[in-house]
Amino acid sequence: MKKIAVMFPGMGYTCLKPLLYYTANAAAEYGYEVVKLDYGQDIHGFKGRNMAEADPLIAKAADRVMTQLSEIPWQEYSHIIFISKSIGTAVACITAARLRINPYQFMMTPIPAVLPYLDNVEGKFFSGTADPCIETKLVQEMMKKHPEKVGAIFENCNHSLEKKGDVLAGIDNLRTVVESLICTIKMEILIRDEATCRFTISGLPVNIRSACAEDAVRIAEIEAVCFPPAEAAGEDDIKKRIAAFPENFLVAEVTGRTVGFINGCTTDKPVLGDELYHDAGLHRRNGEIQTVFGLDVLPDYRCQGVARVLLNELISLSRSRGKKAVILTCKEHMLPFYESFGFRNHGVADSQHGGALWYDMQLWF
C-alpha cells in the first residue's frame, strides 16, 4: 500500500514558504508521495485579513482542488495526510468531506471556518495567540473543546507562527511543528508495516496474534520475568483478562514461541485506575478509551522492535475501532519510549500499584 501527503497552501503562503516547505520535505523523507496544490494567483494573491472576505475564495479553492485530486485512486493509499495552512485548513476539511475520505488533518494556523469540522476530523492544529486571522478566544475555545487535537499553541505569535522581533522563536516554532509531523508519520507508517511478517528478528518472522486461554501459563512466566512480584499479574488474573478482552490481548511469537505481549481493557475513564488491574469485570467492550496494563518482552528479544510492533498494533486496532485514546502508566525510564509514539506525560499518576512511582501517559487520536 502507498502513502500520500497533500499540501494545502494559504493566502500568499505557498508551498515554498517554511511551514509547508519543511513539512512537505519531512513527508517525502518518510516515503510519502507529496501533492502540492495551487489555487490560482487570484486566491494566493489575496491580501485581506478579514476571514469573512475569504469565504468565496475558500469555496473557489475547494472547487479547483477537486479538479486536481479527483483522479487520485484514494483506495490504494494506506496512509493519507492533509497538511494545510491558513485558508488551506478549511479547504482541506471541505475536500475530505467531498472525497468521502478520512485523512489525518495536520492544520497550521486554522481559520474560523474550520471550527464546524473539528468534531469529526482526526488530526491536530497549531495556532498563535497573536494571529490576526482568528480571535484568541476562538483558539481558546478550540483548545478547551478539543484538547486531544492541540498540536501546539505559540504565545504572541502571528499567522506565520512567528514572533515579532524574535527570529529564533520562529525557527524554534517551525522545528516544533515539523517534529510533531514526523512523530505522527512515524506512528502512522509503523502501525501496519512493522506488525506483519515483513518484520523479522535474525531473519525469523514475528507473528502478532490475539491471545487464547492456552497462552496464560506462558504469559504469566513472561510477566514474572519482566515485573517484580508486587507488580506482576498472576496466572489467574491473566486468564480472566484473556477471557474478558482477547481482542485487546496480543502476543508476539517467533518460530511459534511467545516472546512478548501487550494487554489492556477498554474503559470510559481518561485515567488508568489501579482497580482496573485487578477486576476484569470492569472492562467495557464499547468503552472509548483503550488502556495498556502491560507491555512485556523477554530480555533476549528486547531492543529489536518487538515492543514497538506490539504497541503499534494495539494503537492501530484502537483507532480502527473508533476509540478516542490509548492511556497507560509507566516508570520514569520508559517516558522517552512512549513519548516517541506521541504519548504525552501528564505527570505523576495517582497510582499505588506495586508501591512504585508511575507517570500518567495519554495518546489522544
Domain count, the chain: 2
All three cell numbers of 224, joined, read 514474572
**Comparing 77-86, 143-152, 257-266, which segment has the lowest mean pLDDT?**
143-152
- If asked whether residues 178 and 283 sit together in one domain, one would say no
- What is the extent of the structural domain holding 254? 200-364
- If asked whether residues 237 and 282 sit together in one domain, one would say yes
Per-residue model confidence as pLDDT tens digits over 46-69:
766 666 778 889 999 999 999 999
All three cell numbers of 55, joined, read 469565504
- If asked whether residues 55 and 154 sit together in one domain, one would say yes
Q: Please state the separation of Cα 63 from the chain's center in Å.
A: 29
Any idea what the CATH number is for the domain that residue 65 is in? 3.40.50.1820
Mean pLDDT of 158-180: 93
- If asked whether residues 164 and 220 sit together in one domain, one would say no
Enumerate residues 6+ apart whose C-beta is below 8 A from 331. Answer: 356, 357, 358, 359
- If asked whether residues 123 and 138 sit together in one domain, one would say yes
Residue 162 near residue 129 (C-beta atoms within 8 A): no
- If asked whether residues 164 and 290 sit together in one domain, one would say no
- Percentages of the chain per state (helix, strand, coil), in multiples of 5: 45, 25, 30
- If asked whether residues 212 and 355 sit together in one domain, one would say yes
From 152, 168, 193, give the residue that closes a domain. 193
Q: How large a percentage of the chain has pLDDT more than 90?
A: 61
Any idea what the CATH number is for the domain that residue 276 is in? 3.40.630.30
pLDDT at 270 over 60: yes
All three cell numbers of 312, joined, read 503499534
- If asked whether residues 213 and 304 sit together in one domain, one would say yes
pLDDT value at residue 49: 61
- Of 184, 160, 183, residue with least CA distance to 170: 160
Q: Give the β-pairing of 104-108 and 359-364.
A: unpaired
Q: How much is the mean pLDDT over the chain?
A: 89
Q: Is 343 helix (H, G, I), strand (E, B) or coil?
A: coil
**Cα–Cα distance measured from residue 292 to residue 143, given in angstroms and rounded to the nearest whole number:** 26
| E-state strands within the chain | 2-8, 33-36, 77-85, 104-108, 122-128, 150-154, 200-201, 204-210, 249-254, 257-263, 266-267, 289-292, 294-297, 325-330, 344-348, 359-364
Q: For residue 278, count other CB atoms closer than 10 A to its CB.
A: 12
From 145, 165, 193, give the residue that closes a domain. 193
